[in-house]
Amino acid sequence: MNPINALTAVTHHAPYPYYAGLVSGPPLIFDRELGLWIASRAAVVTEVLENPHCRVRPALEQVPRALAGLPVGDIFGHLVRMNDGEKHALPKIALRRALARLDQARVAGCARNAVHALNELYDLRSEQAFAPWSHSLPIYIVASLLGFDEAALPKIDAWMSAFVASLSPLSTGEQIALGADAAHALLERFAALAMEEGTQEGSLLRLVRQEAHIAGWHDASAILANAIGLLSQTYDATAGLIGNSVVALLTQPGLEEIVRDRPSAIAELVREVSRFDPPVQNTRRFVVQPTSIAGIGLAAGDVVLLSLAAANRDPQANARPGELLLERPDRRVFAFGHGPHACPGQALAASIAAAGISTLLQTPTAIRGRAVSWSYRPSLNGRIPIFKSAPAMES
């Protein structure tokens, strides 16, 4: 049974035939039930992402109403991935340059330490441990890179879990209240880290502040908010990338044997999964001035849903789109954005996910056997599997 629409497709067990139908249909479709336009072809998604009149947030709602006036809303309003315009041009440059300067040996060391610490906390022989482990891994790694010591990581992890849970359109009032408390705690802890930062040679926070100074970005509050954003933006996306890579290992014949025999193929697996079954399935753009997309006129106030997962499988962007190919030439991936909205942390997220998959291949886990099933966490745009043991067969 096909998904009902482009939003239910996100957590459908098999959404890709539906996405293929979108790609083969009109270049821009208006869904009356959802009240928005849908772009699915790679060329049209690219056109929307490059259109200056198609913005990340509605013109009159830069911060979601439910978050306005709360600490979580203050952070959200500064995040470069959630905003457009000249105000955010310098921050994007600073963040991209800081991430590019990360010492890969430091990344690898933080990953090893995080894996060791989390394997002490979670027993991966239980499928219930996989979800918290896969969410905690990117937080532990990125928080360590930012400069936090090991003792601070559990609290940072817990605060980030509450913070991210408050950002969804599906968030409850209780989740928003908990997220506001977590945001306040994170801002205080990051401010304290910034004061200690003189001793954090090579830390990501120090690199961000150095690049901010060079770029002429001097808003201290915005710098700390975007440092927090480095954690929040890797939280679900990286967990989903790890989980969807596991799904690929379980469903693609011979794939696990290939990556076991050739560990260097794990990085290619993660990159291909980000195209084949991405953790971020769609994003939205809000039209702030009359414009035209694919020859169709759009009015101010219109909303366009960009089906990134469908664009990833557009045969005009990637040949043999329905096949998982580790050595895919000229791979095009839309799940991490494009052009001015490309995620600067894409390479780091892929490195973290690869470290996670490497760990799972070397550790006895409940999700290594074939007797595993999975569903997807409720979401309007994130595809994050939840694993459980399959029911025993009756004899």
User: What pLDDT is stored for residue 394 in this prediction?
Assistant: 44
Provide the residue type at 246 as one letter.
V
Question: What pLDDT, on a 0 to 100 scale, did the predictor assign at position 90?
Answer: 85
Compute how many other C-beta atoms are within 10 angstroms of the C-beta atom of residue 191.
Answer: 12
Into how many domains does the chain fold? 1
In a domain, 330, yes or no: yes
pLDDT score of 393: 44
- The distance of Cα 298 from the centroid of its chain, to the nearest Å, equals 28
Residue 175 within any structural domain of the chain:
yes
In-domain check, residue 91: yes
With respect to residue 306, please indicate whether it lies within any of the assigned structural domains.
no
**Cβ-based neighbour number of residue 45 at 10 Å:** 26
CATH code (residue 337): 1.10.630.10
Q: Is 371 inside a domain boundary?
A: yes
Range of the domain at 221: 51-285+324-389
pLDDT recorded at residue 199: 54
Question: What whole-number distance in Å separates Cα of residue 270 and Cα of residue 53?
Answer: 33
**pTM for the whole structure:** 0.92
- Evaluate whether residue 360 is within a structural domain: yes
Q: Please, are residues 72 and 166 in contact by the beta-carbon 8 Å criterion?
A: yes
Q: Which residues of 264-301 are buried (b: 16+ CB within 10 A; e: fewer)?
A: ebbbbbbbbbbbbbbbbbbbbbbbbeebebeeeebeee
Contacts of 330 (CB under 8 A, 6+ apart): none
Q: What is the pLDDT along the chain (395 residues), one digit of tens a residue?
A: 778 899 999 999 999 999 999 999 999 999 999 999 999 999 999 999 999 999 999 988 989 999 999 999 999 999 887 777 666 778 888 999 999 999 989 999 999 999 999 999 999 888 889 999 999 999 999 999 999 999 999 999 999 999 999 998 889 999 999 999 999 999 999 999 998 855 577 899 999 999 999 999 999 999 999 999 999 989 999 999 999 999 999 999 999 999 999 999 999 999 999 999 999 999 999 999 999 999 999 999 999 999 999 999 999 999 999 999 999 999 999 987 666 556 667 889 999 999 999 999 988 876 666 578 899 999 999 999 999 876 544 43
Q: Answer whether residue 240 is part of any domain.
A: yes
Q: 312 lies in a domain?
A: no
**3-state percent breakdown (helix, strand, coil) of the chain, nearest 5:** 55, 10, 35
The Cα–Cα gap between 303 and 49 comes to 13
